[in-house]
């Protein structure tokens, strides 16, 4: 992906046009030794044209969808679930191969869902403009304002002064950036943390000389840039895992736990932190080591940023301590707050020039609308899982866990949730998976924490695709990383997380959550 937000290898209006029709031969004569060359040359030209226009990759999407719909049999009455698998194969291949622009691939559910009977056109369209989409859109506007007023550079200078020596030690600088991000993410939402810290990270990177892209120095800076951006993305997710307030997943877990199992020991802030903090520390160390290997004044706009963070943190505090959202009957969301604060940027004067506001719409032309559509596609797919019945089929496939040992139940539940979260948001995955795991725990007669905590942790391991979480979207939109970079860095972290959970939940978790492992 380049710095303008276009994926490497992605089709665009700037692509080199390859002719689909060969030009007529000039003259009509040829040398005696070239009489057999026109046929082979024409064939080679056709192949080059097909590859240049990426038609094989384009055809792979519908071909995979057709193959799934024709060959997969999920039983009577599950045609919509089968079609949903086909759509997933189509969209996933287009995302990974870059067959069409990212925005175009992300809009595919808008016509595939109605055409294959998964959901109506109105229902799928609503998924593209929910509260989280508003949150990301407003965050993009705020990030542009931060960049315009160079707030991130001031904070970047502070981080540089603390963690940069002479000469610069990349491992120490990575520790400073990722450690600060993880610490902040423990107390505010992951997305808010990423939006706050990503401009800091890119501000630091802008101070490094880019050099010639082909020389060794340029390649080294590029690798380090990827490591810094990935560090912010993953550190925000890891830090949020440590506390209940760090991510919506943990809050959803607590709510469903108290609803489904009121007789069990309640999950409190302190009890979750006792379990989540060790998990976060293990993952943070794994992240830092992975990235090290990869890399070998207060003004109006400051006040708006800080005010937004305060509003995010205090909208809904706990079940016993309501936030300011209760004044509006809890009908406002994080997206409501973000759009409101973004709107103020176009109203409040900058104080620099007469008639100038903190932001103007011309600067917003840089908004990555393809990323907005990408996230909308993720929510549409989440709805498709539920409405098509595919989620029920997947949960029924887990009933083999009855009587299985703990060392099997925990990783299987975590992997199941961890796979789903790559295609949906963390909160959506948690909302879909935890009720299934709650019922499954009753049917296979195991302690619910084994499945529900595993499902909640797995839902936070959205490390491989941009659609997994808004934090991934923020990092992806910087232009420093590609989907390949996310997979290469996120897969080892995901494996470490599953292994750590498999060890910690039956041991430390048995004391914290009051589990009887023999059950």
* Predicted TM-score of the model (pTM): 0.57
Owner of token pair 């950036």: 177
**Which stretches of 241-387 are DSSP H helices?**
248-260, 269-295, 300-314, 334-345, 369-387
Secondary structure (DSSP) of 45-76: HHHHHHHHTTHHHHHHHHHHHHHHHHH----T
Task: List, in sequence order, the alpha helices (H) in 397-482.
Answer: 406-420, 426-444, 448-459, 470-476
DSSP single-letter state for residue 357: B
Please tell me the distance from the alpha carbon of residue 456 to that of residue 452, in angstroms, as a whole number.
6
**Peptide bond connecting 167 to the previous residue in cis, omega within 30 degrees of 0:** yes
Q: What is the pLDDT, as a whole number, of residue 500?
A: 92
d(CA 401, CA 412): 9
Q: Give the separation between CA 100 and CA 120, rounded to whole angstroms.
A: 24
Cα gap 358→472, rounded to integer Å: 27
Q: Which pLDDT score, from 0 to 100, does residue 114 have?
A: 92
Tokens 């469903």, residue located: 256
269-295 helix and 170-185 helix, angle to the nearest 10 degrees: 160
* DSSP 8-state class, residue 5: S
Residue the block writes with tokens 């060890």? 503
Q: Could you tell me the sign of the dihedral formed by the alpha carbons of 176, 182, 183, 187, in that order?
A: positive
Q: Which two tokens stand for residue 15?
A: 């692509």
pLDDT number for residue 153: 56
Return the closest-CA partner of residue 135 out of 339, 274, 439, 392.
Answer: 339
CB atoms within 10 A of CB 274: 15
Q: What is the pLDDT along the chain (519 residues), one digit of tens a residue?
A: 333 334 333 333 334 344 444 444 444 444 444 555 566 777 677 667 766 667 888 899 999 999 999 998 887 778 888 998 899 889 878 876 778 887 888 889 999 999 998 888 888 888 888 766 776 677 677 767 766 766 655 665 566 566 665 566 777 888 888 888 888 788 777 777 787 788 878 877 776 665 543 444 567 778 888 888 999 999 999 998 988 767 778 877 877 787 778 788 878 777 888 899 999 999 998 998 888 887 763 444 445 565 555 565 556 555 555 666 666 666 666 667 777 777 888 887 777 777 777 777 777 777 777 767 877 777 787 778 778 887 777 667 767 777 778 888 889 889 988 988 887 667 767 766 777 788 788 777 788 888 889 999 999 998 888 777 778 878 887 878 888 888 888 899 999 999 999 999 888 888 888 776 544
Taking the CB of residue 507, how many other CB atoms lie within 10 A of it?
Answer: 12
First to last CA, the chain: 49
Tokens matching residue 230: 């990935």
Percent of the chain as helix, strand, coil, to the nearest 5: 70, 0, 30
Q: Which helix (H) or strand (E) holds 166?
A: none
Give the length of the chain. 519
Sorted by sequence, the CB contacts under 8 Å of residue 49 that are 6+ apart come out as: 18, 19, 20
Q: Distances from the Cα of 193 to the Cαs of 112, 145, 172, 287, in angstroms?
A: 35, 16, 21, 17
**Which residue pairs from 150-154 have beta carbons closer than 8 angstroms and sit at least 24 positions apart in sequence?**
150/203, 151/199, 151/301, 151/302, 151/305, 152/199, 152/200, 152/202, 152/203, 153/203, 153/206, 154/297
Q: Which two tokens stand for residue 361?
A: 């719409």
pLDDT given at position 317: 54
């Amino acid at each position: 992906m380049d710095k303008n937000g276009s994926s490497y290898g992605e089709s665009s209006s700037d692509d080199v046009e390859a002719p689909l029709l060969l030009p007529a031969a000039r003259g009509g004569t040829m040398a005696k030794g070239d009489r057999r060359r026109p046929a082979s040359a024409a064939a080679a030209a056709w192949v080059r044209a097909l590859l240049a226009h990426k038609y094989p990759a384009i055809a792979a999407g519908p071909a995979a969808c057709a193959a799934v719909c024709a060959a997969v049999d999920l039983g009577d009455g599950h045609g919509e679930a089968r079609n949903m698998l086909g759509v997933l194969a189509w969209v996933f291949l287009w995302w990974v191969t870059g067959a069409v622009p990212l925005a175009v691939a992300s809009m595919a559910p808008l016509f595939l869902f109605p055409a294959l009977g998964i959901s109506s056109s109105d229902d799928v369209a609503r998924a593209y403009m929910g509260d989280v989409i508003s949150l990301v859109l407003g965050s993009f506007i705020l990030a542009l304002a931060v960049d315009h007023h160079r707030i991130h550079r001031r904070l970047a200078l502070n981080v540089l002064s603390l963690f940069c020596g002479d000469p610069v030690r990349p491992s120490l600088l990575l520790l400073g950036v990722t450690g600060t991000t993880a610490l902040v993410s423990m107390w505010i939402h992951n997305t808010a943390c990423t939006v706050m810290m990503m401009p800091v990270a890119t501000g630091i990177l802008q101070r490094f000389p880019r050099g010639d892209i082909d020389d060794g120095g340029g390649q080294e800076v590029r690798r380090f840039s990827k490591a810094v951006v990935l560090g912010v993305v993953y550190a925000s997710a890891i830090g949020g895992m440590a506390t209940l307030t760090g991510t919506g997943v943990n809050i959803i877990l607590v709510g469903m736990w108290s609803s489904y199992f009121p007789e069990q020991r309640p999950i409190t802030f302190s009890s979750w932190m006792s379990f989540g903090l060790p998990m976060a520390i293990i993952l943070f160390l794994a992240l830092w080591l992975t990235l090290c290997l990869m890399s070998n004044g207060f003004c109006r706009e400051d006040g708006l940023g800080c005010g937004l963070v305060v509003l995010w943190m205090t909208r809904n505090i706990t079940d016993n301590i309501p936030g300011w959202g209760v004044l509006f009957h809890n009908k406002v969301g994080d997206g409501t707050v973000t759009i409101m604060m973004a709107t103020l940027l176009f109203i409040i004067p900058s104080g620099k020039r007469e008639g100038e506001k903190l932001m103007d719409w011309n600067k917003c032309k840089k908004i990555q609308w393809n990323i907005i559509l990408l996230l909308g596609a993720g929510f549409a797919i989440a709805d498709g899982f539920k409405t098509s019945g595919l989620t029920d089929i997947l949960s029924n496939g887990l009933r083999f866990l009855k009587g299985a040992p703990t060392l099997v139940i925990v990783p299987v539940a975590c992997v199941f949730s961890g796979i789903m979260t790559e295609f949906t948001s963390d909160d959506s995955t948690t909302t879909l998976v935890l009720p299934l795991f709650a019922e499954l725990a009753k049917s296979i007669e195991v302690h619910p924490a084994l499945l529900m905590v595993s499902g909640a942790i797995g839902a936070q391991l959205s490390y491989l695709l941009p659609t997994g979480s808004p934090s991934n979207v923020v990092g992806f939109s910087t232009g420093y990383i590609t989907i390949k970079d996310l997979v290469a860095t996120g897969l080892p972290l995901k494996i470490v997380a599953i292994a750590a959970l498999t060890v910690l939940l039956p041991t430390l978790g048995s004391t914290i959550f009051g589990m009887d492992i023999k059950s």
